[in-house]
Amino acid sequence: MTALPQTPFAALPGAIVPEESADPGVPAHYGNPLREQRALDAGKALVDLSTRTVLELRGEDRLTWLNSITSGLITALAVGDSGETLVLSPQGRIEHAAGLIDDGVSLWLLPESSSAEALVAWLLKMRFRARVEILDRTEDFAIVGLLERDGGIALDALPAAAPNDVPLIWRDPWTHVVDGGWQYSRPDTHPGVDYTWREVLVPRTALAEVAAAHPAAGALAAEALRIAAWRPREITEVDDHAIPHETDWLRSAVHLNKGCYRGQETIAKVHNLGHPPRRFVQLHLDGSEGFLPEPGAEIRAFKAGEPRIVGKVTSVANHYEFGPIALGVIRRAVDPTIGLDVARPAGENEEPGWLAAAQEIIVPSDAGSVADIPRLPRIGGRRA
């Protein structure tokens, strides 16, 4: 996709830009990740997301066309509304995820940059006779992220781009169950309720001005708060087998009753008649050794005294209140009451080992099978 100049956030004092990360090219932190988390959680800092891809869909068929091939109810978007949708395989596996903003003239897609090229290629292949034009606008617009809080940075203090007279601000729908969606998690208060995440598109020419005018937090701070909110992300939580049910993504990106689209049969079958084969957990890690596992680290459980690999870590962070936390996917049948272990890398003068982890249930083991189908008597069986 588009080759971008170095972000002005990288020139701020203390900026550390790692060679590899889920958000390549932007600062991971500015010297104090935990303090940055506090500021971000209070709504008083911005996160540089300027290497993310921005796509524009123009044309009168943009809403109905994308609605017919992806999981969200896109035709319900009013001018200025935000949403989210998934591209699924015919087997219902997640291939792409994208935030959505409609400004009445164009539909703006905010996908992961790592898979944006493949997403555009697929969209072009699916266009057929639809009156839709697909444009890469990443050179023109950059994204900054923040949590909208009382007393924090006001959204109208940022120079949001508005090419069609509607400010381009994506409001993450994770705060609630969208119309037609479903939540498997059962806490009295879902941590996503307070996750008022916003992504503001600004003209790329204004990015240096934005970086100079507001306190900055690194990508590590944003990831820690996302993990604490149980919020899945394509680049971290999605593998070749992922279906939306496993990570509770029906909550924000799937409409269960809108009609047919690619992968819809699997969505309906698992939700109504079956169970997702894996389930999402938050892991509270033993921090006494000073180690954090790496994304992809194996998760094990003991059964009858024997260790078995039951899943993997997808995201990990050191949270300013909760300490070391992670998200992971594990087999559905793993006992939800038992402790787990997470593989940790070798340290200086240390062999690889295991960290104890307490599991907090996000998707319960009985998720799915919501259809109330009466049991039919067996042929030849006795009736009461």
Q: What is the mean pLDDT of the chain?
A: 94
Domain assignment present for 236: yes
pLDDT at residue 349 is higher than 70:
no
Instruction: State the pLDDT at residue 2.
Output: 63
218-247 residue pLDDT tens:
999 999 999 999 999 999 999 999 999 999
* Residue-range definition of the domain harbouring residue 284: 275-361
Instruction: State the pLDDT at residue 47.
Output: 98
Residues 136 and 206 in one domain: yes
Residues 242 and 302 in one domain: no
Across the range 163-191, mean pLDDT stands at 95
Q: Both tokens of residue 103?
A: 């400004």
- Which 8-state DSSP code applies to residue 275? -
Please classify residue 383 by burial: count the beta carbons closer than 10 Å to its beta carbon, then call 0-12 exposed, 13-18 middle and 19+ buried. Answer: exposed
Residues 245 and 301 in one domain: no
Residues 373, 377, 383, 384, CA torsion sign: negative
Residues 24 and 162 in one domain: yes
193-220 residue pLDDT tens:
999 999 999 999 999 999 999 999 999 9
Measured CA angle at 27 (ends 24, 31), to 5 deg: 145
Domain assignment present for 3: no
Please check whether residue 340 is in contact with residue 299, taking contact to mean a CB–CB distance below 8 angstroms. yes
Of 281, 279, 280, 310, which Cα lies nearest the Cα of 297?
A: 310
Across the range 55-81, mean pLDDT stands at 97
Where do runs of H (alpha helix) occur along the chain?
Answer: 33-41, 62-69, 113-126, 207-213, 219-228, 234-237, 250-253, 264-272
Other Cβ atoms closer than 10 A to 133: 12
Residues 159 and 217 in one domain: yes
Domain assignment present for 381: no
In the chain, beta strands by DSSP E: 46-48, 55-58, 82-88, 94-102, 106-111, 133-136, 141-147, 169-171, 197-203, 216-217, 278-285, 298-303, 306-319, 323-331, 340-344, 353-361
Instruction: State the pLDDT at residue 352.
Output: 86
Q: How confident is the model at residue 381 (pLDDT cuts 50, 70, 90)?
A: very low
* Complete DSSP assignment for 12-23: STT-B--SS-SS
Indicate the pairing of strand 82-88 with strand 197-203. Answer: unpaired
Q: Is 350 annotated as a binding residue?
A: no
Residues 293 and 237 in one domain: no
Q: Which amino acid is at 356?
A: A
Rounded to an integer, what is the distance from CA 218 to the centroid of its chain?
A: 17
Give the Cα separation of 86 and 69 in Å (integer). 9
End residue of a domain, out of 200, 221, 253: 253
Residues 249 and 302 in one domain: no
Give the Cα separation of 272 and 308 in Å (integer). 30
Domain assignment present for 262: no
For residue 70, give the CATH number of its domain: 3.30.1360.120
Domain assignment present for 220: yes
Phi, psi angle pair for 204, to nearest 5°: -60, -30
Of 143, 192, 144, 146, which Cα lies nearest the Cα of 40?
A: 146
Please check whether residue 313 is in contact with residue 283, taking contact to mean a CB–CB distance below 8 angstroms. yes
Residues 67 and 197 in one domain: yes
* 3-class secondary-structure state, position 195: coil
Rounded to an integer, what is the distance from CA 157 to the centroid of its chain?
A: 26
Percent of the chain exceeding pLDDT 70 equals 96
Residues 192 and 287 in one domain: no
Number of domains making up the chain: 2
Domain assignment present for 334: yes
Longest CA–CA span in the chain (Å) reads: 79
Give the Cα separation of 96 and 89 in Å (integer). 9
Residues 25 and 161 in one domain: yes
Residues 249 and 283 in one domain: no
Domain assignment present for 265: no
Q: Tokens 């006795």 map to which residue?
A: 382
Residues 116 and 23 in one domain: yes
Q: Tokens 């699916």 map to which residue?
A: 126
Instruction: State the pLDDT at residue 288.
Output: 85
pLDDT at residue 99 is higher than 50:
yes
Residues 252, 257, 261, 267, CA torsion sign: positive
271-299 residue pLDDT tens:
999 999 999 999 999 988 788 999 999 99
Give the Cα separation of 345 and 309 in Å (integer). 16
What size, in residues, is the chain?
Answer: 384
- Which 8-state DSSP code applies to residue 359? E
For residue 315, give the CATH number of its domain: 2.40.30.110
**What's the order of all strands across the beta sheet hosting 169-171?**
169-171, 197-203, 141-147, 46-48, 216-217
Please check whether residue 137 is in contact with residue 120, taking contact to mean a CB–CB distance below 8 angstroms. no
126-169 residue pLDDT tens:
999 999 999 999 999 999 999 999 999 999 999 999 999 999 99
Cα→Cα distances 349→220, 280, 344, 345, 352, Å? 27, 33, 14, 12, 10
Domain assignment present for 205: yes
Measured CA angle at 199 (ends 196, 204), to 5 deg: 160
